[in-house]
Amino acid sequence: MSFALEYRKKMQAKARKAQRSAKTGAQSDEGFAVPPAGKNADTRGNRRRVLAALSLAALILSVFNSGALVTYTGGLAGSPLGLRVAIASEDWHALMEKSRMTGVVESIRGAVATVRHSSWQDLAVLVAPSGGAPDEGDPGSPGAVPGPAPVLPAGDGERGRDLPGPIEVERGTQPLLKAEISR
Amino acid sequence: MLFPTLDFALFFLVVFALCWELRHRPETRKVFLLAASYFFYGYWDWRFTMLLAASSLINYTAGRLVGLTRDERQRKLLVGLAVAFNLAILGFFKYYGFFLDSLADLLLRLGLERDLPFMEIILPVGISFFTFQGISYVVDVYRREIKPVTAPLDIFLYISFFPQLVAGPIVRAADFLPQLREKPRLDAAMVSLGVVLILTGLFKKMVIANYLATEVVDTVFFDPSGYGAPDLIFAVYAYAVQIYCDFSGYSDIAIGVAALLGYRFKWNFNQPYRAASLREFWRRWHISLSQWLRDYLYKPLGGSRGGSLTTYRNLMLTMLLGGIWHGAAWTFIIWGAIHGCVLVLERMLQAVRGARSAVDIALAAPAARGSLSAAAVPELRKSGPVKRALAVLITFHIVCLAWIFFRAESLEYALIYLSGFGNWAEPAQFLQPFLVVMVAASLAAHFLPGDLVQRAARQLEGRSAVVLGAVLGFGILLIESVAPEGVAPFIYFQF
């Protein structure tokens, strides 16, 4: 019985609290990732700032990562306007390549590929270089051309399923997300 | 439309520019954001926008009727009907095939084969999330925690708001609806936090999650019988990092995008792998879901108000249903069951420790009796660093064990995976420096100060547009350069 009375009191207190906060518009800030905007927030100024920043970011990406534009616009080549856009982005990419702007991304990707294919022996050489030069034929040694990716075991043919490769989808598009309920 | 794509970048640029242009006309702004959200959702499949609209309409109507009705029995009936409608929609799209498969299996075992009406059902993206949001709105109105909304626009926007629509966080009406009534504002803190969250989210998803998925996890989980224990163990750790980075990365981007539009969401992750118990884990992992389950399932079942057995039952039911929410498969149910069992075990241990403490107090020296001084009662002392480290390690491995079932294609695969832990004869193929360091560093990052993102954002606050643009532009450039080719879908899109 006392439990029922306690529960009733609790529900009434909650209802009163909800009414109070609805009147004042007050909101607890607990758990929010972002603090509430101050009453004197310069919304107009910040909006301009963000738009300018987004534009600058777009410019940086189109200069240094112009290859991504070509990949994206390639998918638009179906229509006359899309074709013009695709050609324009290819010309832009050629210009950026000529100006060596795309070299930054290529260098980073090369460095990452080297690190990805490094072995523990390569790390040991880096840490203790007097331990001996690595075999040039070692596919993991720095400077060597990375070898082919590890051979993956064949799937069980009886199961009739194909080995899924890395998900390679054209940048700028989304993969098909329709999924069967197959489990 | 995936976040880390040029399509979304162009979409967001337009939405940002126009929605702030409309800030002096709040209703028009809301209509515009609603249209943008439906465009975002319809980009996958325009047919499901009708489902989204139907769900929003059901919840809006139910909220209004519950608000207008004074009779408690009728209110209860209305909210019950609304919840049933929501769950029926979710159940049909998500569990129809699973139900028929299981029924067909059962009939086959009983020698009663029948032709069942199998259908290929496409799972609408985000259905679990927006369904749960709708239910939370109606129940909160019923509990009188919020007033029912009279303008349908607000509810439609609340349920379909694009940053959180397809993979959460599950936003409460009490947190979001008041923001729709306020004048939208954008200050420097929101801008800088938004930018930092978007960058960290992109890094987590595009670099860490994608590398681990393509280089380790997908390969090993596809055919676990082909690998030895070292690779199987490493792949589980890699999956633990992958799913965290994938999901929390999406949440970070969603929160950051919402912040740039002037709306505040709550944190959805808080360094979950530093938890020293599963109870603590659920206060740090997918916080919006665990709070939803607590408030709309665990507490209505009775929570911990009944006796111990009732509490244990409620915990198990909540976690089992939490598992089912993720998907229509026995592996998800087992995942939920593992979490439920361990939570129950923790409660039992807590009860035993509590009883022991009470005995200690009773037997303590007279001077210490009546006080809860830690010096007088050893059990009340905070656990030392070694004990906590051990607890963190154990909790992490329990979570990883459950992840095996969560990730495995089927129960059979999960069992094959587990049986592989005895095979130490196979050499390790995936323990390469790049991957090992990635996993180790990602786990170690859980023990860094929790406010690093806020600290980084404070450095950007008030900086010029050039600095902000450079950080954003070069940040995305670096992420693009380091990330593997292609765009993988977010894991939680399948829920």
- Tell me how far apart the 2 most distant CA atoms of chain A are, in Å: 84
Tell me the nearest-neighbour CA distance from B369 into chain A, angstroms: 31
Q: Measure CB to CB from residue B481 to each of A35, A105, A182 and give the nearest one.
A: A105
Cβ-Cβ contacts under 8 Å for A42 (sequence gap 6 or more): B187, B188
Across A9-23, average pLDDT? 60
> Are A25 and B182 inside 8 Å of each other by CB?
yes
Return per-residue pLDDT of chain B as tens, 495 residues: 777 788 899 899 999 999 999 999 999 999 999 999 999 999 888 888 999 999 999 999 999 999 999 999 999 999 999 999 999 988 888 887 767 677 777 777 777 766 655 556 667 788 889 999 999 999 999 999 999 999 999 999 999 999 998 887 999 999 999 999 988 899 999 999 999 999 999 999 999 999 999 999 999 999 999 999 999 999 999 999 999 999 999 999 999 999 999 999 999 999 999 999 999 999 999 999 999 999 999 998 888 888 889 999 999 999 999 998 888 788 999 999 999 999 999 999 988 887 666 666 566 555 444 444 444 444 444 568 899 999 999 999 999 999 999 999 999 999 999 999 999 998 899 999 999 999 999 999 999 998 999 999 999 998 999 999 999 999 999 999 999 876 666 666 666
Cα angle B314, B320, B321; round to 5: 90
pLDDT classification of A71: cutoffs 50, 70, 90: confident
Which residues of B does the annotation mark as catalytic?
A: 326
Top-confidence residue, A56 or A26: A56
Peptide bond into B169 cis (omega under 30): yes
Residue B167 has a pLDDT of: 80
CA distance A110 to B482: 9
Q: Measure CB to CB from residue B494 to each of A22, A164, A179 and give the nearest one.
A: A179
CA distance A66 to A93: 5
Tell me the nearest-neighbour CA distance from B487 into chain A, angstroms: 6
Which residue in chain A has the smallest CA separation from B145? A18
- What ipTM describes this predicted complex? 0.83
What is the DSSP-derived secondary structure letter of residue B425?
S
Cβ-Cβ contacts under 8 Å for A53 (sequence gap 6 or more): B195, B465, B466, B468, B469, B472
3-state secondary structure chain A: CHHHHHHHHHHHHHHHHHHHHHHHCCCCCCCECCCCCCCCCCHHHHHHHHHHHHHHHHHHHHHHCHHHHHHHHHCCCCCHHHHHHHHHHHHHHHHHHHCCCCHHHHHHHHHHHHHHCCCHHHHHHHHCHHHCCCCCCCCCCCCCCCCCCCCCCCCCHHHCCCCCCCCCCCCCCCCCCCCCCCC
pLDDT classification of A2: cutoffs 50, 70, 90: low
> B266 by DSSP, 3-state: which?
strand
Q: Measure CB to CB from residue B469 to each of A56, A119, A180 and give the nearest one.
A: A56
Q: Are B435 and B212 in contact (CB under 8 A)?
A: yes
Q: Are A49 and B465 in contact (CB under 8 A)?
A: yes
| Maximum average pLDDT range among A12-21, A50-59, A62-71 | A50-59
Q: Are B217 and A57 in contact (CB under 8 A)?
A: no
Give the residue among B28, B51, B27 at the shortest CA–CA distance from B41: B51
Spell out which residues of chain A touch residue B305, defining contact as CB-CB under 8 Å.
Answer: 3
Cα angle A32, A37, A43; round to 5: 140
